Each structure stands twice: as structure tokens, then as C-alpha cells.
Amino acid sequence: MIIAQLSDFHVRPHGQPAYGIVDTNAATRQAIDAVLALEPRPDCVIVTGDLCDCGLAEEYEIVRAELERLPMPVYAIPGNHDRREVFAEALGQDSAYLPKHGFLHYTVEDFPVRLIGLDTVVAGESGGEICAEREAWLAERLAEGQGRPTLIFMHHPPFAVGIDGMDCIPARVSPGFVALIARHPEIERVVCGHYHRPIQRRFAGTIGYVAPGTAHQVALDLRPGTENRLVMEPPAFAVHVWKPETGIVSHLQPIGDYGSSRPFVLDPAYPGKQEAVVAYV
Ligand SMILES: [Fe+2]
Ligand SMILES: [Fe+2]
């Protein structure tokens, strides 16, 4: 099973760049093109929040048009730049997976890996939350899974990443959340967005993963007390590949034209086996 994870489109109304400088709409188009170019094609796509920059209906119309270009199922979860009601109205029309009211949580049972989308949004705040009610919902869903391999996806990371500008806007978690995750070793990953750069860490007995953005990134800044700044480093998306013998293996795929792939032609001085002219690693 192949899952493409796109994150943080930050789509804007036509002609209005995000933050006045980032053409997020063109970046979204290129991200969708990059997914379509994958061979083999992913079985599904998950989008981990901030689909729009301001949660406007006209922004969602653009998102919808882009997502409709994908032939495989797409499962989206809102972020702090989304507005839950507008999101549900715009994306729920053709999407049976989205609930009609309340938190936009759901499970997807159609694949070898169970997908659980968790809504971490707190309206009006940049940070998110997994409150007791959301934890209880997740506990029930995990209990139903009977140990099947599971991928949990959400917008706000529910763990610290050691960068001050990011750690002030995580998903605050209820007291039992970490233990709940730890009790379910079938959880292959907890994958998120929100921080606009690739990050991974050990978390609650599984792997916590943050995908980069499909447009702008947040500059790496490990100095204490600094604020997030955006940077136009190469956009990318995650490709999570599951096989029974490996579990999930996560790859990062840059978006952009970097030329075609080429064979490795060995130099005669190469110290390995000399009989092969062409090697593949
Ligand atoms: Fe974002
Ligand atoms: Fe965000």
C-alpha cells in the first residue's frame, strides 16, 4: 500500500499570494502534478491540514478543483488555517468519509493499513488540542481496529520537536493520550503537518512524523527563543509505503524539476567489484 501525504497547501484566492509573496496556488498545482507522476501511483492521498490560508470558500473551490485531478481517494483533515464548517461544506459534498457535524474525525477501513484522521483544530487558535473528548473517540476507534496496522494523521503534532517557534503551537494533549498511543503498537506512525519541514522523532512507542509543506517551508532555527520564519526551500511530500514484511517505510519526495534520473556509471578507480560497468547504488 502506498500513501502520499501532502500538507499545508495554504491556497489563496486567485492572484493573492500567501503572506504577500508565496504563490501557494501554483505550488499546490505542482504538488498534485508530482503525485500524478509517481509510478506506481499511490493507493490514496492524505492531506494533513492548512489546505487554505484563510479558510475562505473561494480558497476551498481552488483546493477542490486541484484535489479532483487525483484519481485515487483523498482524505483531508483541517488545520489552524482552515475553518471547520467551510472545510466540511466544500470538501464534504463528494466525500462520504467526512462527518456532517462536530469534529472532523474519521477512519478509513478500505486498505491494508487502517487510516485514522484526527481533528486537532481549536477555532481561533494557531495551536491545536487533543482534548479528553477527542482522546475518548480515538480510544474507541483503536479498540475497534483489533490490532490492524494503523496510521494516525492530524495537523498539529502532539509532541515537542525541540524548536521554540514550533513548540509553542503544538496539539496540547489530554493526560491519557500518550499512554493510549503507547498501548497500541499497531500504530505505525503519527503523521502531521503544521511545521512546514520534515521532522521525525520517537513518540509514545511509535514514530512521530512531520511532513514538509508543498509551498513554503519554515527555516530550521535551533536557537532558543526565536520565532518561525518562512523560507523557500524545496517543497516536498511524504510517500509512506507499507508492506507486511516491513511495516511502513516513509520516503520524502521533493517537488520540482531536478532533471531525469541516470544510471550510476562507475569510475575505473572505484574500489568495489570492477566487472560491473553500471551499478545501481
Ligand atoms: Fe501551515
Ligand atoms: Fe498549521
Give the whole-angstrom CA distance, residue 118 versus residue 114: 13
Q: Which of 185, 49, 186, 48 is nearest to 114 (CA)?
A: 186
Which ligand is located closest to the Cα atom of residue 11?
A: 1
Which ligand is located closest to the Cα atom of residue 53?
A: 1
Measured from the Cβ of residue 22, the count of other Cβ atoms closer than 10 Å reads 18
Note the CATH number of domain 2-279.
3.60.21.10
* Helix (H) or strand (E) run with residue 250 in it: strand 247-254
Is a pLDDT exceeding 90 seen at residue 134?
A: yes
C-alpha cell at 213: 509543506
Residue with cell 519526495: 253
Is 181 in a helix, a strand, or coil? helix
Give the whole-angstrom CA distance, residue 40 versus residue 17: 33
Q: What is the mean pLDDT of residues 114-125?
A: 98
- Residues pairing with 3 in the sheet: 44, 240
Distance 268 CA to ligand 1 centre (A): 48
What's the pLDDT band for 100 if we cut at 50, 70, 90?
Answer: confident
What is the DSSP code (8-state) at residue 52? Answer: B
Distance 262 CA to ligand 2 centre (A): 37
Distance 153 CA to ligand 2 centre (A): 14
Contact 17, 222 (CB under 8 A): no
Which ligand is located closest to the Cα atom of residue 51?
A: 1
Distance 112 CA to ligand 1 centre (A): 29
Rounded to the nearest 10°, the torsion over CA 66, 68, 70, 71 is -170
Give the whole-angstrom CA distance, residue 242 versus residue 189: 11
Question: One-letter amino acid identity for 190?
Answer: V
pLDDT at 276: 52
Handedness of CA 134, 136, 142, 145 (dihedral sign): negative
Distance 80 CA to ligand 1 centre (A): 8
Distance 278 CA to ligand 2 centre (A): 45
pLDDT at 275: 62
Helix axes 57-67, 84-91, angle to 10 degrees: 40
pLDDT tens sequence across 203-231: 999 999 999 999 999 999 999 999 999 99
Distance of CA 213 to the CA centre of its chain: 8
Is a pLDDT exceeding 90 seen at residue 145?
A: yes
pLDDT at 73: 97
